[in-house]
Amino acid sequence: MSVGIETSSNVTVTDVVRRIFDARAIARPVQPHDDLREAGLTSLDMVSLVLSVESEFDVKIPERDITPTNFRSVVTIETLIARLRR
């Protein structure tokens, strides 16, 4: 299950990912456990994703946490944000 982390403006990780899907014209719905690379996200999309997560959720993601594992899916990103906020 998605833990549904939100910003003060109620933006969720799913929203951030959907924005990138939209920019890339990826039509499929954003599912919490879907592998984002399999969904078609490229390396440039990953930059967009990391920068968007940092600005939307007001977290600084240390270099060591910018890994394929942490950015595999909506749920892994939510887990990362929750850990960084602790």
Partner 1 sequence: MPLDSHAKKLLEMLNAAGAADLSRVSPEQMRNDFQRFATMVGVSGVAVDAEDRELPGQGGPIPIRVYTPKGSGGATLPALIYFHGGGGVFGSIASHDSFCRLLANAGACRVVSVGYRLAPEHKFPAAVGDAFAATCRIAEHAREFLIDPRRLALVGDSIGGGLATTVCRMARDAGSPAIALQLLLCPVVDLSRSSDTRIAFASGYFLSEATIDWTVKHYCAPGTDLADPRISPLLADDLSGLPPAQVHTAEFDPLRSEGAAYADRLQRAGVAVRHSCHAGMIHHFYAMGGVIPYARLAVAEIGAGIKSALG
Q: Under the rule (CB under 8 A), what is the footprint of partner 1?
A: 23-24, 37, 41-51, 63, 66-68, 70-71
Q: How far is the CB of 51 from partner 1 (least distance, A)?
A: 6
Q: How far is the CB of 5 from partner 1 (least distance, A)?
A: 19
CA distances from 82 to 40, 41, 70 (A): 25, 23, 12
All residues at 6 or more sequence positions from 19 whose CB lies less than 8 Å from its CB, including other chains: 52
Residue 11 vs 66, nearer CB to partner 1: 66
Measured distance CA(23)–CA(52) in Å, rounded: 13
Residue 29 vs 55, nearer CB to partner 1: 55
